Amino acid sequence: AKSSHGPQEPPCLPALPLIGSLLSLQSPCPPHVLFKELQKKYGETFLMMMGSHRVIIVNQHAHAKEVLLKKGKIFAGRPRTVTTDILTRDGKDIAFGDYSATWRFHRKIVHGALCMFGEGSASIERIICAEAQSLCCSVSEAAAVGLALDLAPELTRAVTNVVCSLCFNSSYSRGDPEFEGMLRYSQGIVDTVAKDSLVDVFPWLQVFPNADLRLLKHCVAIRDKLLQKKYDEHKADYSDHVQRDLLDALLRAKRSAENNNTADINAESVGLSDDHLLMTVGDIFGAGVETTTTVLKWAVAYLIHHPDVQRRIQHELDTKIGADRPPRLSDRGSLPYLEATIREVLRIRPVAPLLIPHVALSDTSIGDFRVKKGTRVIINLWSLHHDEKEWNSPELFDPDRFLDSEGTGLTIPSSSYLPFGTGIRVCLGEALAKMELFLFLSWILQHFTLSVPPDHSLPSLEGKFGVVLQPTKYKVKATPRPGWWRAKSQTC
Ligand code: HEM
Ligand code: PLO
């Protein structure tokens, strides 16, 4: 008899006992590219075995939306893995934590705290613009000496300071040793966490010496010390009357749960332990830094490859804003080509090409396929964003695809586009990230033209796969634009 949850499981990659489908996954390509290739042979939605875990790969938008949106609650689980357990003290955070009352509670607190700084109030805009200004000053100093410069450290510092203000009400100046340390440990974590490594297929491999795990543990220890320091400082001068930042919002929730101890809610049982609070800020801080910085690096790399796109954005900036004042958030509506360019960057090089794995919390289905409880589901956003049936020449960088036929209004030409995911696990930082991308890019392009330095080659557009898809290092030449001196005399 046909089961109500679909008659059969999706086509499965060849699987051996113990190792599962590992042999079919040996490839020089990164996983998102390999999974896109494999759909030619197995269909858009297929099953594979990672050791003893069933993993379904989804390469197409209708199935992706069924998982994330229509059945979002059923697929809201997260797998426990060796590396994310090290990073998050066994899933006590939002991004890698399983679906639970604690998870819902923490999402709500963070959401509330981000809204407090939100688009409505002016303060988040002020914070970002102050960082954009300091970024432009640093770049102009380097540009004056005519150096080929690596923009990455300055972009990272600007983005870090925004999220540092939000989380801890603090910021870093150039050359701060704590900031330099943060850069190093964060890269170490990005390089080692959640890259479906062998320890997650064979957890017993942890007992053997493993360079990746050692690096991860070392970096996590440094991160935890930094978080603990911020936490202790906040606890020491916490007041119920002022809420300076996210950490204060979390502490307030903890205090109020502790005062309500008479009811059966207490701080431990709703997940407001010190560990949970630390892991939640750790998530927002980590996500806040690594994602936005990565998109800015991709955007600059593509602008260098496409000087025509850069010129069109600058023309838009010159006609809509001019050189007498810097861009602000309220200009977003009048700069559609810049917005279209940001959308195209997020399409062609998605930050999280496989999102974060989801888990089916009960027996269910995807399309006509049966899905057993506990199955992991990986949404291959790379396939959605490069689907030839949905996008013309998907490998072509073309912001115009996000503009209407008059070239003045924004559109989303295909529903195969989910840079921030969707549904109950949708990115918590989408609004913040979009504000930052708009302001940082508009400030930079108002003041400078970016190009390849003499004797350098164009940036690679290939990308290094990990928990985020990062571009490889490259240098740029930043040429101050005419008229910039007027703004400069007022700012630097
Ligand atoms: C989750 C994209 C910036 C916080 C995610 C997911 C994606 C994503 C694809 C996974 C959704 C899923 O698993 O279904 C992006 C992109 C960003 C960005 C493209 C920048 C352009 C940020 C920022 C923050 C943030 C700035 C913090 C303020 C989070 C958190 C989650 C998440 C906490 C986990 C949500 C959950 O599992 O419930 N993001 N993100 N993200 N993002 Fe972002
Ligand atoms: C980045 C390195 C930090 O040191 C720790 C960290 C915390 C949250 C992670 C983030 C890292 C990478 C990007 C992630 C984010 C949570 C949501 C976000 C995975 C590992 C995305 C894009 O899904």
What angle do the packed helices 211-236 and 246-259 form, to 10 degrees?
70
Nearest CA to ligand 1 atom 5: 427
Tell me what pLDDT residue 79 has: 94
| CA-wise closest residue to 466 among 159, 184, 83 | 83
Phi-psi sector, 433: left (phi>0), alpha (psi -120 to 50), beta: alpha
- The rounded radius of gyration (Å) of the Cα atoms in the chain is 23
Nearest CA to ligand 2 atom 7: 286
Tell me what pLDDT residue 407 has: 87
Nearest CA to ligand 2 atom 15: 287
How many A from CA of 87 to the centre of ligand 2?
Answer: 10
pLDDT tens, position by position, 150-179? 999 999 999 999 999 999 999 999 889 999
Distance (Å, whole) CA 21 – CA 23: 6
pLDDT averaged over the chain? 91
Tell me what pLDDT residue 92 has: 97
Instruction: Say if CB 68 and CB 378 are below 8 A apart.
Output: no
Nearest CA to ligand 1 atom 43: 427
- Checking if the pLDDT of 126 tops 60, the result is yes
Distance (Å, whole) CA 301 – CA 155: 13
Complex prediction ipTM:
0.99
pLDDT tens, position by position, 278-290? 999 999 999 999 9
The answer for residues whose C-beta is within 8 angstroms of residue 222's C-beta and 6 or more apart is: 181, 185
Nearest ligand by distance to the CA of 167: 1
Substitution candidate for ligand 1 out of 291, 293, 440 with most atoms within 8 A of CB? 291
**C-beta 227 within 6 A of ligand 2:** no
Tell me what pLDDT residue 2 has: 47
pLDDT tens, position by position, 70-103? 999 999 999 999 899 999 999 999 999 999 999 9
Tell me what pLDDT residue 32 has: 94
Ligand 1 pocket, residues with Cβ under 6 angstroms:
68, 94-95, 107, 283-284, 287-288, 291-292, 295, 346, 351-352, 355-356, 419-421, 425, 427-429, 432-433
Nearest ligand by distance to the CA of 432: 1
**C-beta 287 within 6 A of ligand 2:** yes
What pLDDT band is residue 132 in, cutting at 50, 70 and 90?
very high
Helix (H, G, I), strand (E, B) or coil at 249: helix
Lowest mean pLDDT across 265-274, 380-389, 462-471: 265-274
Question: Residue 20 pairs with which residues in a beta bridge?
Answer: 16, 50
- Checking if the pLDDT of 128 tops 60, the result is yes
pLDDT tens, position by position, 324-337? 999 999 999 999 99
Instruction: Say if CB 294 and CB 468 are below 8 A apart.
Output: yes
Mean pLDDT throughout 128-133? 96
b (16+ CB within 10 A) / e for 302-336: bbbebeebbebbbebbeebbebeebbbbebbeebb
How many A from CA of 426 to the centre of ligand 2?
Answer: 14
Q: What is the largest CA-CA distance in the chain?
A: 78
Distance (Å, whole) CA 355 – CA 101: 22
Share of the chain above pLDDT 90, in %: 76
CA dist 104 → 77, 123, 217, 285 (Å):
12, 27, 28, 19
How many A from CA of 200 to the centre of ligand 2?
Answer: 18
b (16+ CB within 10 A) / e for 437-451: bbbbbbbbbbbbbbb
Question: Residue 149 pairs with which residues in a beta bridge?
Answer: 476
How many A from CA of 431 to the centre of ligand 1?
Answer: 10
Instruction: Say if CB 21 and CB 49 are below 8 A apart.
Output: yes
| CA-wise closest residue to 99 among 484, 359, 407 | 359
Tell me what pLDDT residue 142 has: 84
Distance (Å, whole) CA 188 – CA 186: 5
Residue 375 in tokens: 């199955």
How many A from CA of 356 to the centre of ligand 1?
Answer: 9
Substitution candidate for ligand 1 out of 161, 345, 428 with most atoms within 8 A of CB? 428
**C-beta 161 within 6 A of ligand 2:** no
Instruction: Say if CB 291 and CB 356 are below 8 A apart.
Output: no
How many A from CA of 197 to the centre of ligand 2?
Answer: 17
pLDDT tens, position by position, 9-33? 999 999 887 777 877 778 888 899 9
Going along 384-492, which residue ranges are E strands?
448-451, 477-480
- Predicted TM-score (pTM) above 0.90: yes
- Checking if the pLDDT of 262 tops 70, the result is no
pLDDT tens, position by position, 288-298? 999 999 999 99
Which runs of consecutive H residues, i.e. helices, occur in 386-491? 430-447, 484-491
How many A from CA of 426 to the centre of ligand 1?
Answer: 7
Q: What letter does residue 393 receive in the DSSP assignment?
A: S
Sign, CA torsion 364/369/372/378: negative
- In terms of C-beta density within 10 A (0-12 exposed, 13-18 middle, 19 or more buried), how is residue 236 classed? exposed
The number of residues in the chain equals 492
CA dihedral 157, 158, 161, 163 (to 10 degrees): -110
Substitution candidate for ligand 2 out of 196, 283, 358, 381 with most atoms within 8 A of CB? 283
Tell me what pLDDT residue 48 has: 93
